[in-house]
Every structure is written in structure tokens, then in C-alpha cells.
């Protein structure tokens, strides 16, 4: 009997092999078990049809497999679908399936709530309850992969870590989930189709570069002026913007991959040329592109979308400085599934 009854997906391959060997089962069964539990995504050892009955009994006595479950879903007029997913302990997270003409993107969560305090984001109003385990992140993708095939007749083509939580404050589990997602045990999606979005945890950006990750990096910037950034994202007071820039320069030096800056424009906050010019300076230091994002209301009356005139000013100055820039329109805002709106309202 194993000391602790737990989800078998928490057991490393090495430890599981050792457990099997100690109990007179061949080590090669480890890979078979993990394929069933992850790639095939069964919820019971009894469904592992190529395992002997004695091993299945042993697994049932000592381990379990809990699969996260979709408990509700809400579809937008633009066909975006928000899913409420129940975890093993009864807590919930939200994930979003976003179809377009050429692809289907899934937006996944990495924490229950969020560790940070960005004033414009609904998720930050939730207390961070805990980090997600790697397999809970993985489960979101597997669940929505099935939904995508059923509803849109298409596999997931892109994955963005832009849901609930700060991914870099759950680094170990996020990285492990991506390793599974991109492997033959997972759905085999290319790292090039995965984007991790961070609010700017400098130390962890450098660690990602050192770890030689292959996916894409996006940074929620919203202001290149320290005073404004500190006001709208108070956590950044302990993370100077110069440290962030240095970490992004380091990222590019190590990976040779451009950073995407995500940028909201608000009335009387960053709708002026001082902010535009500050953004240009950062983009000239860090090889990058800019996504200008439509603001989605979250209940904080301080934040209002700037006028179209200022959107055009940003576009004009960035293009004049040969900085790649695009405008990203919101999807799913009528069901509170758009960027910054995920707050477990269901």
C-alpha cells in the first residue's frame, strides 16, 4: 500500500516506475499508464484495456484519476464560448474557446484567482486561492479540444495563457503542462502556436530564457512610464520597468524571438504623446511588436476606452517608427469572456 492516496498524474515517471518495480510490476507499464491518463485522458484505471487486471487493482487501491469537468458554458454572439470548469476540490476556473475563419484558439487559466493587483482586470478582484496543478491546466486544453472538434469540427490550433492568473507565478506547473501539451502524449501542438502572457515578472522572464523555452512571449505593458504603470498595476512598484526591459533584452538575446507588447489605451490615463513616445523608446530597445487592445469594462469606472483619435495617434507614430503594430478587437465581451473579464461569474 502506498503511503498517500493521490492522483497518479502527480507522480513523476521516475517515481511511478520505482513504485511499480517495488511491487513486482514491470517499469515499462509507466508509459502505458501515463498515455492512458493524459493523451487518451481516461478517468478510470478500469478503462486501461492493455493493462493486466492485477495492475489495475493495484492502481485502484493506491491512486485515482480526477478529471476536471465542464459545469457550464456560455456562447457569445461572435461564437466565442466561455467554459466554467470545476476542479477536484470544487473550485472553478474559466477557459475560453475562440473560433475564427482560419483557426481555433483556446485561452487557458493558470491560477484560481490571481496573485497580482492590476486595477483594470476583473480577475485581480478575486483572491488567489491556489495555483493550478500541471494536469489541471492540461485538462482545460483536453476538454476544449474535444469541444472544438464537436462544435467547430476543428482541432485547437493556438493556445494562449491569458486566462485567470499570472502564469509566471505558477512557473513549474505551466512549463510542465506545456511540455505535455506539445509532446506526443498530449495533442502534439507546436510551441510556435503557444503564447504565454505575463504582466512582467522580470526574474522569471530571464529564467524562461535560460530554460530555452520554445513558445512565444507577450507582456501586458499598458504604459512605458513607470509612474503610470505603478498606478494601474500596483505590484509593479517592486518591479522597476528598467528591470523588465533588461529581462526582455535578455530574452531576445537568448531566444531570438520578438516580444509582443499588449497595450490598452484609456481616457486620461495614457492617451497622450508622452506615453506614445515612451512606448516607442522601449520598442526600439526590445525587438517587438505591439497589440493595441480594446478595453473591456470590468466595473471600475476609472477606466474608460480612449477615443479613436488616440488609437490612430498610437498607430501612426508606431508605424512611422517602423514598429509592427496591430489592433486586436475583443471577442466574447457580451458573455464576459474577453480579455480582463474572467472573474468566475456564472
- Helices then strands, counting H and E runs in the chain, come out as 10, 14
Contacts of 284 (CB under 8 A, 6+ apart): 321, 323
pLDDT tens digits for range 233-289: 999 999 999 999 999 999 999 999 999 999 999 999 999 999 999 999 999 999 999
E strands, 67-146, in order = 69-75, 81-86, 92-99, 104-107, 111-112, 130-131
Rounded to 5°, angle at Cα 293 from 287 and 298: 135
Side-chain-side CA neighbours of residue 90 (13 Å):
0
State the catalytic residues.
94, 339
Is residue 341 predicted with pLDDT exceeding 50?
A: no
pLDDT tens digits for range 54-111: 999 999 999 999 989 999 999 998 899 999 999 989 999 999 999 998 899 999 999 9
Radius of gyration for the alpha carbons in the chain, expressed in angstroms and rounded:
22
| CATH fold for the domain made of 69-335 | TIM Barrel (3.20.20)
Sequence ranges of the domains in the chain: 6-64, 69-335
Give the range among 62-71, 81-90, 156-165, 337-346 with minimum mean pLDDT.
337-346
List the grid coordinates of 8.
Answer: 497518479
Is residue 34 predicted with pLDDT exceeding 50?
A: yes
- Choose the CATH number for 6-64 among 1.10.150.530, 2.60.40.1220, 3.30.70.100, 3.40.50.740: 1.10.150.530
Amino acid at each position: 500500500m502506498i503511503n498517500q492516496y493521490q492522483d497518479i498524474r502527480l507522480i513523476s515517471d521516475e517515481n511511478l516506475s520505482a513504485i511499480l518495480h517495488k511491487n513486482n510490476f514491470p517499469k515499462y507499464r509507466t508509459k502505458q499508464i501515463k498515455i492512458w491518463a493524459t493523451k487518451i485522458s481516461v478517468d478510470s484505471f478500469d478503462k486501461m484495456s492493455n493493462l493486466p487486471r492485477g495492475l489495475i487493482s493495484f492502481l485502484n487501491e493506491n491512486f485515482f484519476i480526477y478529471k476536471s469537468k465542464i459545469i457550464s458554458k456560455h456562447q457569445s454572439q461572435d461564437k466565442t464560448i466561455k467554459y466554467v470548469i470545476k476542479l477536484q476540490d470544487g473550485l472553478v476556473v474559466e477557459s475560453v474557446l475562440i473560433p475564427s475563419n482560419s483557426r481555433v484558439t483556446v485561452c487557458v487559466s493558470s491560477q484560481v484567482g490571481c496573485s497580482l493587483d492590476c486595477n483594470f482586470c476583473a480577475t485581480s478582484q478575486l483572491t488567489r486561492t491556489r495555483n493550478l496543478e500541471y494536469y489541471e491546466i492540461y485538462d482545460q486544453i483536453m476538454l476544449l479540444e474535444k469541444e472544438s472538434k464537436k462544435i467547430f469540427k476543428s482541432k485547437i490550433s493556438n493556445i494562449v495563457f491569458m486566462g485567470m492568473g499570472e502564469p509566471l507565478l505558477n512557473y513549474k506547473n505551466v512549463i510542465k503542462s506545456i511540455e505535455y501539451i506539445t509532446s506526443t502524449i498530449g495533442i502534439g501542438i507546436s510551441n510556435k502556436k503557444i503564447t504565454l502572457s505575463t504582466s512582467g515578472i522580470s526574474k522569471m522572464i530571464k529564467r524562461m530564457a535560460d530554460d530555452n523555452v520554445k513558445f512565444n512571449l507577450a507582456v501586458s505593458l499598458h504604459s512605458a512610464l513607470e509612474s503610470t504603470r505603478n498606478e494601474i498595476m500596483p505590484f509593479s512598484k517592486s518591479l522597476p520597468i528598467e528591470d523588465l526591459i533588461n529581462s526582455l533584452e535578455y530574452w531576445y538575446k537568448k531566444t531570438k524571438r520578438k516580444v509582443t507588447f499588449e497595450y490598452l489605451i484609456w481616457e486620461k490615463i495614457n492617451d497622450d504623446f508622452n506615453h506614445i513616445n515612451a512606448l516607442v523608446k522601449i520598442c526600439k530597445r526590445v525587438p517587438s511588436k505591439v497589440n493595441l487592445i480594446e478595453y473591456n469594462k470590468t466595473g471600475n469606472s476609472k477606466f474608460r476606452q480612449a477615443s479613436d483619435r488616440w488609437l490612430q495617434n498610437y498607430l501612426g507614430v508606431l508605424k512611422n517608427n517602423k514598429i509592427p503594430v496591430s489592433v486586436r478587437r475583443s471577442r466574447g465581451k457580451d458573455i464576459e469572456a474577453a480579455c480582463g473579464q474572467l472573474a468566475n461569474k456564472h
